Amino acid sequence: MVTYDHYLEEPGSLDVEYFSTLGAQRAGHDFHAGWLEFEYGATAWWTTELYLDGQTTFHDSTVFTGFRWENRFRLLQREHFINPVLYIEYEQISEADKIVKEVEGHDVEADHAVPNANARQGHNHELELKLLLSKNFSGWNVAVNPLATKPLLPSGPWEFGYAVGASRPLALKASAQKCNFCRENFSAGAEMYGGLGDTISPGLHETSHYLAAVAAWNLPSGWTFRVSPGFGLNDNSHRWLMRWGVAREFPGFGEALGKLLRGRQ
């Protein structure tokens, strides 16, 4: 749920997704961060996505924390030994944001202990770049995502991070019958992600890292359910992060919207 493979949204399709992260906070209150994603396949080589983030910190408050605009560009026309996709994201979020969609620089658990009233006073404008590298073999997809983030306002050093993951459908061959519970509709895997410091202080000190199991259930009707229990790997990490999400694909959305805008049947 953090690691990306190299597959983009199908052209003209809109994926509407809701995801949430339930996090355990040692010094402070646990939280439930939710976000909405609108993922649109502009072309077969370009997917654009809008995120709206929010969170509830228990015994504190619920706040909207900002938006992200993500773009993924397929760099090569055909499949290769390793398939690269360029990821560019602009974020305008407050410091109260807790979706932990990626971990970068010296992000640590203590960052999320600040009460919402104080944290939401700080705003970040960031540019995030990732190189999504992915490969399939024997039914497995293995992906590696190095990332670099540049705080624009206020300006700051480049921050680095990583995510690696592998997943596989439970069955490689499709059954002949239509079914919701066929094994090929389920996939499972694991991922690991964390920060790698910044240009001022690169390395693993004062960074957080997570290991998570991931599972997905893709229904033929276009619905997808995902769940991912994750665990912090050091003292700077949340003890656990429980993620889950639901997504619904709307094929032909672009065509329908185009007709609507042009006033045609």
Q: Which residues bind other proteins (CB under 8 A)?
A: 5, 7-8, 10-12, 40-46, 48, 50, 67, 69, 71, 74, 77-79, 90, 92, 125, 136, 139, 141, 169, 172-178, 184, 220-221, 251-252, 254-255, 257-258, 261
Smallest Cα–Cα separation from 216: which of 192, 191, 250, 185?
Answer: 185
Least Cβ distance, residue 168 to other proteins (angstroms): 9
Least Cβ distance, residue 30 to other proteins (angstroms): 31
Neighbours of 189 (CB within 10 A): 20
Smallest Cα–Cα separation from 207: which of 218, 215, 195?
Answer: 195
In whole angstroms, give the CA distance from residue 236 to residue 238.
Answer: 7
Smallest Cα–Cα separation from 171: which of 191, 158, 159, 188?
Answer: 188
Closer of 7 and 231 to other proteins (Cβ): 7
Smallest Cα–Cα separation from 244: which of 12, 23, 27, 8?
Answer: 23
8 A C-beta contact, residue 45 and residue 71:
no
Closer of 27 and 265 to other proteins (Cβ): 265
Closer of 172 and 188 to other proteins (Cβ): 172
Least Cβ distance, residue 192 to other proteins (angstroms): 22
Least Cβ distance, residue 136 to other proteins (angstroms): 6
Give every CB contact of residue 162 below 8 A, 6+ residues apart in sequence. 144, 145, 146, 147, 193, 194, 196
Closer of 158 and 253 to other proteins (Cβ): 253
Least Cβ distance, residue 68 to other proteins (angstroms): 10
Closer of 65 and 237 to other proteins (Cβ): 65
Q: Residue 43 carries which side chain, given as an amino acid letter? A: T
Closer of 177 and 265 to other proteins (Cβ): 177
Least Cβ distance, residue 220 to other proteins (angstroms): 6
Least Cβ distance, residue 169 to other proteins (angstroms): 6
Tell the residue number behind the tokens 């030994």, with chain if given. 81
Smallest Cα–Cα separation from 214: which of 171, 245, 179?
Answer: 245
Rg (CA), the chain: 19
Q: Residue 39 carries which side chain, given as an amino acid letter? A: E
Closer of 26 and 125 to other proteins (Cβ): 125
In whole angstroms, give the CA distance from residue 100 to residue 60.
Answer: 19
